[in-house]
Each structure stands twice: as structure tokens, then as C-alpha cells.
């Protein structure tokens, strides 16, 4: 057992498990045996005192098989229709499997817009916490039937990364159809090697993740590593492991060296800043000068009008916007205290001039530091 793993699993209580389509479905649709094996493990660990939330894919794949389509569906309405067929079937399998252990399941279907709205985000959090208090196992999926591009999570790797914040998970386990992250494409190159531990998500790690060909689910390894970047920035350890391997969850909890473990960043974002950084989409950009970059990144200060050079986009008060440095790199993301038209008028000015120009002076800052996420990892994910 490695020291890192021992430490992580000793105190973990709230566990988020994401199970991919490639794990749950085989040539004949939903693979009941695999699902039952995983459920047996989750049920056993639940009885040991762990609290589980499951993000499960498999609705589209299940619906597609039920309707007799051999190939992947191409159009969005077809995928949405397949999800409508498959989601109920998926839940029935989970409900029966957990039922054998006297455990109750709950279905939660979400779109991105449920989480970008702060009130709905908090409502989802409250519901989830009641379900966990009741000892129910929440099974979460994207509400594929209604989700169109603007409100899509994109894939369940991203959805799980958002859920990790909502449920305040101690660990996120991403079960997929490979053993973990390899240093190069395991199907192509001869000498690919499983990476057991990632302490920092470097360019090399990202490159390794991009080499995978044609994933079964939507995301593939690339989106798993993007999710890892987010989750570890929130201080949560993240494991990618093989969902079909018998006893995988117990192996993980026993601290065995399976899968790829991504260690959390030492300095991490609060829940609200995580939400700003990764759940909200930027509505515009503020190009800022070097002095402002230094104040924000180096000294943890707010963004003032004097540091703004250019405004890009049409946004309102409270909207999320990105702060971009002179190299075009996003160095922070935050909620704007002024709309784009007003910032256009006060950019480059001293704070004391705001009232004179706008007629009122509601805030000193364009973005207050409490509403701003600044992180090496935020930069790369925008």
C-alpha cells in the first residue's frame, strides 16, 4: 500500500463514483453482471460507513441497444430519444441490484443550466444532502433528453466534476474501460505503461491523455484528465480505474496500487470559487495590464477599473467574465460588478472617477477578490 493512498482513504467518507458507458454496457446492452458486481461492492462499503453518490452513464447506449441500432447514433435528437428509452431501464437495473441489499436509489437528472443558476445549484445541494442523510444512493445522469449544446455538461466526466463540488466529495473515482491513464495509447504503441500516480497535471500528462482512439462513452481519457484538473484544484483526490475489474472498489479502498491516482493541489479553491471557475461559462473577457495581473495573482487583490485595458463581449452585472493577460492567457475568472458597457466607460480610470463618469459608484472593484477564482488550473480550463 502506498503512503499517499493510505492517507487519502483513511479519512474519506463521501465517495463519488462515476461509471462510464463502456463499463456498463456490452454487446447486448446493459451488462447486468458488471452492474451487480459494482453495486455489491458499493452496498458493502456503504454498510461499512461510506456515503456513495453515483454518476452513471449508459442511458443512450442502453436505449440504442433496446431499439436495435448497432452503430453509434449521430444526431442529437436520436441520442436524446435513445436516452429517453434507456434511462428508465438503467434505473430499473440499479434499483433491483441495490434492492437486494435493502438499499434505496434516487434518480437525479441534471442539465448545466440547473447548476449555473446559483439558487438551483444550492437546491440541488440541499436535495442531495437529504438523500444522503436518508441513506439513499443518488444515481445522477445528464438530462440528455432535454439537453442541447448550450446547456450540456458535454460528458459525464464533467458532470461528475461538478457533482464533486455539490456533494463535497472526499474522493472521486472514475470507473472506465481501461486500467487508468497510460503514458501513450495502450492500443497502439507496444510499450505503454500505466501511470500509477500523478502529482501535477503537466503538458506531458495531457498529451498522454489525448492519444486515445475512439472512446466508447462521450468523453474518453482527455475529458477524464480535464475533469481531474478541476477536481484536484478543489482539493479532491481523483482516481481513474477499470470498472470491469472484479473487486475494483475494494482494491481501491484497501489502498492497492490500482488505476491512476491524481493527488489534490495543496492550495485549493473554495466551493463558490470552484463554481465560478468551472460551472459558469464566461460571458466576456477583460484584457488587463501587468500591474493588475500582479495584484491579482501575486497579491490576491481585486480587479480595479485602472487595470482594465479592453472589454470584450456584452455582459451584465453579476455575469462571469475571464481576465486575460498581455499574452492572451486567462489568469482569473470572476463575477463582474459592472456590465460591459459601463466598464467600457470606466476602464483605465481611477476608482475615484467612477461616480463622475457613471453618475453612481456602487463598487470600487470591477471584480471583487471574493468572487474571483485565480489558479494555474483555471487558466487551462477556460
Distance CA 167, CA 227 (A): 16
Q: What are the phi and psi torsion angles at 15 (to 5°)?
A: -115, 130
- The minimum distance between CB 282 and ligand GLU, in angstroms, equals 23
Residue closer to ligand GLU by CB (options 159, 295) is 159
Residue closer to ligand GLU by CB (options 157, 342) is 157
Residue closer to ligand GLU by CB (options 73, 195) is 73
Residue closer to ligand GLU by CB (options 23, 346) is 23
- The minimum distance between CB 85 and ligand GLU, in angstroms, equals 11
Q: Which long-range contacts (CB under 8 A, 24 or more apart) does 337-341 make?
A: 337/362, 337/363, 337/365, 337/366, 337/367, 337/368, 338/362, 338/363, 338/366, 339/315, 340/284, 340/311, 340/313, 340/314, 340/315, 340/316, 341/314
Residue closer to ligand GLU by CB (options 144, 179) is 144
* Interface with ligand GLU (CB under 6 A): 21, 57-61, 83, 141-142, 144, 155-156, 217-219
- The minimum distance between CB 214 and ligand GLU, in angstroms, equals 13
Q: What are the phi and psi torsion angles at 281 (to 5°)?
A: -100, 140
Q: What are the phi and psi torsion angles at 168 (to 5°)?
A: 50, 60
SS3 per-residue string spanning 232-277: HHCCCCEEEEECCCCCHHHHHHCCCCCCEEECCCCCCCCHHHHHHH
C-alpha separations of 331 from 26, 57, 137, 232 in Å = 43, 33, 38, 18
Q: Which residue is nearest to ligand GLU (CB)?
A: 217
- The minimum distance between CB 370 and ligand GLU, in angstroms, equals 33
Residue closer to ligand GLU by CB (options 141, 279) is 141
- The minimum distance between CB 74 and ligand GLU, in angstroms, equals 15
Report the SS3 class of residue 188.
coil
- The minimum distance between CB 18 and ligand GLU, in angstroms, equals 9
Residue closer to ligand GLU by CB (options 80, 302) is 80
Residue closer to ligand GLU by CB (options 133, 214) is 214
- The minimum distance between CB 261 and ligand GLU, in angstroms, equals 21
In this structure, are residues 1 and 254 in contact, taking their beta carbons and an 8 Å threshold?
Answer: yes
Distance CA 228, CA 200 (A): 10
Instruction: Give the DSSP H or E segment for 110.
Output: strand 105-110
- The minimum distance between CB 61 and ligand GLU, in angstroms, equals 6
Amino acid at each position: 500500500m502506498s503512503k499517499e493512498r493510505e492517507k487519502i482513504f483513511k479519512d474519506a467518507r463521501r465517495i463519488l463514483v462515476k461509471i462510464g458507458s463502456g463499463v456498463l454496457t456490452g454487446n447486448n446492452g446493459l451488462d447486468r453482471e458488471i452492474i451487480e458486481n459494482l453495486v455489491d461492492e458499493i452496498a458493502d462499503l456503504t454498510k461499512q460507513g461510506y456515503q456513495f453518490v453515483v454518476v452513471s452513464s449508459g442511458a443512450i447506449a442502453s436505449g440504442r441497444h433496446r431499439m436495435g441500432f448497432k452503430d453509434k447514433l449521430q444526431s442529437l435528437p436520436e441520442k436524446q430519444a435513445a436516452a429517453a428509452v434507456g434511462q428508465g431501464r438503467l434505473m430499473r437495473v440499479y434499483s433491483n441490484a441495490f434492492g437486494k441489499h435493502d438499499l434505496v436509489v434516487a434518480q437525479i437528472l441534471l442539465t448545466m443550466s440547473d447548476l449555473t443558476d446559483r439558487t438551483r445549484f444550492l437546491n440541488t445541494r440541499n436535495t442531495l444532502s437529504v438523500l444522503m442523510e436518508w441513506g439513499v444512493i443518488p444515481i445522477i445522469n445528464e438530462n440528455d433528453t432535454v439537453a442541447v449544446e448550450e446547456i450540456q455538461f458535454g460528458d459525464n466526466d464533467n458532470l461528475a466534476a461538478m457533482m464533486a463540488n455539490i456533494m463535497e466529495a472526499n474522493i472521486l473515482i472514475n470507473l472506465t474501460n481501461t486500467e487508468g491513464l497510460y503514458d501513450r495509447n495502450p492500443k497502439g504503441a507496444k510499450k505503454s505503461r500505466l501511470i500509477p500516480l500523478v502529482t501535477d497535471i503537466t503538458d506531458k500528462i495531457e498529451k498522454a491523455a489525448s492519444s486515445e482512439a475512439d472512446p466508447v462513452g462521450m468523453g474518453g481519457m482527455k475529458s477524464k484528465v480535464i475533469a481531474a484538473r478541476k477536481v484536484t484544484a478543489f482539493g479532491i483526490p481523483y482516481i481513474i480505474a477499470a470498472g470491469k475489474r472484479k473487486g475494483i472498489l475494494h482494491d481501491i479502498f484497501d489502498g492497492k496500487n490500482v488505476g491512476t491516482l491524481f493527488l489534490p493541489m495543496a492550495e485549493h479553491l473554495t466551493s463558490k470559487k470552484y463554481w465560478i471557475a468551472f460551472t459558469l461559462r464566461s460571458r466576456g473577457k477583460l484584457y488587463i495590464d501587468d500591474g493588475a495581473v500582479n495584484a491579482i495573482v501575486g497579491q490576491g487583490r481585486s480587479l480595479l477599473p485602472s487595470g482594465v485595458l479592453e472589454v470584450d463581449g456584452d455582459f451584465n452585472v453579476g455575469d462571469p467574465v475571464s481576465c486575460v493577460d498581455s499574452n492572451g492567457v486567462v489568469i482569473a475568472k470572476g463575477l463582474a460588478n459592472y456590465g460591459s458597457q459601463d466598464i467600457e466607460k470606466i476602464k483605465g480610470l481611477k476608482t475615484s472617477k467612477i461616480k463622475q463618469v457613471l453618475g453612481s459608484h456602487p463598487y470600487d472593484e470591477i471584480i471583487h477578490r471574493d468572487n474571483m477564482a485565480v489558479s494555474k488550473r483555471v487558466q487551462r480550463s477556460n
